[in-house]
């Protein structure tokens, strides 16, 4: 029973820490006006994070060798990029990416 209680306590504490780390910045910055240069700087954060995730999934790391291209992700990226340029709607972009990756994996 000790290990069950330890695991449950760990899950609850991790959940609280995750919840606080996501909500606390909103609570602290709710009534604060940030300087305009900082707001402009922070507006690029989502684009940089998505670009880093996208680029990191385009390559497969091999120990001692150069990374190789993940062709399924690269091929699925093409219609997704086109959907992003045309629609600028996150839901459409995600759906096109998921569907194109699924179709490519079925075909290949």
Dist. CA 45–CA 77, nearest whole Å: 21
Tell me the pTM: 0.62
Inside any domain, residue 40: no
Q: Identify the pLDDT of residue 65.
A: 86
Same domain, residue pair 70 and 24: no
Parent domain of 103: 58-108
Q: Is 64 helix (H, G, I), strand (E, B) or coil?
A: coil
Considering the domain boundaries, does residue 51 fall inside one? no
pLDDT at 64: 85
Quote the pLDDT of residue 100. 96
What's 58's DSSP letter? S
Q: Is residue 38 part of a domain?
A: no
Domain membership of residue 87 (yes or no) is yes
In this structure, the answer to whether residues 23 and 64 fall within a common structural domain is no
Q: Which of 47, 60, 39 is nearest to 93 (CA)?
A: 47
| 37 located within any domain | no
The whole-number pLDDT of residue 95 equals 96
* Residue 76 per-residue DSSP state: H
With respect to residue 101, please indicate whether it lies within any of the assigned structural domains: yes
Please report, to the nearest 10 degrees, the dihedral formed by the alpha carbons of residues 49, 50, 55, 57 taken in order. 110
Q: Please report the pLDDT score of residue 1 as a whole number.
A: 59
Full pLDDT tens readout for the chain, 108 residues: 578 899 999 999 999 999 999 999 888 888 888 899 998 998 899 889 988 988 989 998 888 888 899 999 999 999 999 999 999 898 999 999 999 999 999 998
Is 22 a member of any domain? Answer: yes
Total count of domains within the chain: 2
């Amino acid at each position: 029973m000790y290990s069950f209680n330890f695991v449950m306590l760990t899950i609850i504490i991790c959940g609280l820490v995750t919840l606080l780390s996501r909500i606390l910045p909103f609570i602290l910055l709710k009534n604060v006006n940030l300087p305009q240069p900082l707001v402009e700087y922070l507006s690029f954060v989502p684009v940089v994070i998505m670009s880093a995730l996208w680029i990191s999934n385009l390559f497969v790391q091999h120990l001692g060798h150069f990374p190789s291209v993940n062709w399924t992700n690269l091929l699925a990226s093409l219609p997704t990029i086109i959907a992003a340029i045309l629609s600028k709607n996150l839901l459409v972009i995600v759906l096109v990416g998921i569907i194109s990756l699924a179709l490519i994996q079925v075909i290949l």
